[in-house]
Amino acid sequence: MTRVYESRKRILVTGGAGFLGSHLIDRLLEQGHEVLCVDNLFTGTKRNLDHLHANPHFEFMRHDVTMPLYVEVDEIYNLACPASPVHYQHDPIQTTKTSVHGAINMLGLAKRLRCKIMQASTSEVYGDPTVHPQKEEYWGNVNPIGIRACYDEGKRCAETLFFDYHRTLGLPIKVARIFNTYGPRMHHADGRVVSNFIIQALCNDPISIYGDGSQTRSFCFADDMVSGFIKLMESDGDVTGPINLGNPHEITIRELAERVISMTGSTSHIVSRPLPADDPLQRQPDITKARSTLGWEPNVALEDGLGRTIEYFRKRLKELTLA
């Protein structure tokens, strides 16, 4: 018990009521740390945290990271930002403010505390890539005035801020570029392809694919992603990133739809919709750096992860029906 207490940290997770944030908090608490979750509940939900309220090492604070925060912690994971197109395009100005002002405020807090801070960046910084798979050295192909720019450019600016704080002030930073991630606790109406397909299949509704479905994505299960976050945070001080975290196994959107239909036993059929503006045609991480630097790579096969996610949404749909 003494060893656990001596190694215990007080860790701030912004956006902790969200899909990935809540899984990260679970893992940190399992490791014996104290966790302060900060979230304004714009896209996150307290339902993701209900199982933690009796835990004496967990604390929730409703707060918007675009406003300064004054707390005492040992580490910061900055995950606060809407991450699905449906949510981040709902209020694009606020999305940009969350990425940029949120980064400034969290970096200011880390500067005062002289603590490590990890930025949850995104593969969207690569835009619609002309390089495949995407390496960290690739600068990206982003439309700075498109409908996705509030998120893409907001995250790119946040990375700029992190590295300027590191270069000018010596602040210990970590930057993770997150590729498509899925799993239990995804929002049922977030518009992401995995949640969309599963909900439509379970309801036996037509499954909507955009374009002909030949565009590709690479899907990483939440448990694997959280392991990557923690390995990055615990890595040597000279490891700043940016570092790609994702599953390099590439699959077309149509193949994913067919697999979900098969696994759910659905009677759904596939229908095509117009391709959204600036939707990337290919997305696959090169995780060579994560493998060599962190000793990390995903372990959960798509079939297994989809099975667990489907079961989560079966239960969630029953709850929504009874509500």
Amino acid, res. 26: D
At which residue do the structure tokens 């300027």 appear? Answer: 164
Read off the DSSP letter of residue 254.
H
Residues contacting 220, CB < 8 A, separation 6+: 179, 180, 181, 182, 245, 246, 247, 298
What is the sign, positive or negative, of the torsion defined by CA atoms of 30, 33, 37, 38? Answer: negative
Residue found by looking up tokens 């590191």 in the block: 166
Phi/psi of residue 216, nearest 5 degrees: -115, 155
| The dihedral sign for the CA sequence 217, 190, 154, 229 | negative
Terminal C-alpha separation, the chain: 43
For residue 109, the surrounding DSSP H or E stretch is helix 92-113
Phi, psi of 173 (to 5 degrees): -120, 160
Selecting among 151, 165, 182, 312, the annotated active-site residue is: 151
Q: Is 88 a catalytic residue?
A: no
In the numeric block, which tokens belong to residue 38?
């900060």
Of 283, 289, 295, the C-alpha closest to 248 is 283
Count Cβ atoms below 10 Å from residue 195 Cβ, excluding itself.
22
Q: How far is CA 182 from the centre of its chain?
A: 9
Across-strand partners of 220? 181
Active site residues: 151
